[in-house]
Amino acid sequence: MKRSFILLLALCFAFVFPLHANTVKPRNSTDQLRKEVAAFFKSKDLTFLDKKVEMVSVSFLINAKNELVIFNVSGNDADACDYVKEVLNFQKVNYSSAKPLAKYEVDIRLVKE
């Protein structure tokens, strides 16, 4: 009786504790990439923008040299899209989780100061 109780208790601990072990949400790895891409626009002159805030969606892949290869930029302002493509194309990133030639898409918020 005592032996079966200990065995039952051990089984309960074996199934309950692993369920509570991972309570922290894993960080989305593309958040790191988005922040790194957005950092290219810190302290840039954005006086050419028509609006104070412009949203631009950028689709790209990362080549073998860890460079961004831009293949689509979309937004309401064509000048902003061209500027984003000019700044980002073939910029080197330190994103360690990059899958070679995988498609990534990030939204960039350009704020005119």
pLDDT tens-place string over residues 11-62 = 777 776 655 555 555 555 678 888 898 889 887 888 888 888 899 999 999 9
Q: What domains are there in the chain, each with its CATH number?
A: 27-111 (3.30.1150)
Give how far Cα 77 sits from Cα of 51, 52, 60, 106, 109, Å.
9, 12, 19, 17, 12
- pLDDT tens digits, residue range 83-100? 999 999 999 998 877 777
Residue 47 is given by DSSP the state T
| Residue with the two structure tokens 């498609």 | 103
What pLDDT was estimated at residue 2?
A: 81
Length of the chain: 113
Mean pLDDT value across the chain: 83
Enumerate the H helices of 22-101 as residue ranges.
29-38, 78-88
Residue 39 is given by DSSP the state G
What pLDDT was estimated at residue 20?
A: 54
Dihedrals phi, psi of 22, to nearest 5 degrees? -110, 75
What pLDDT was estimated at residue 33?
A: 86
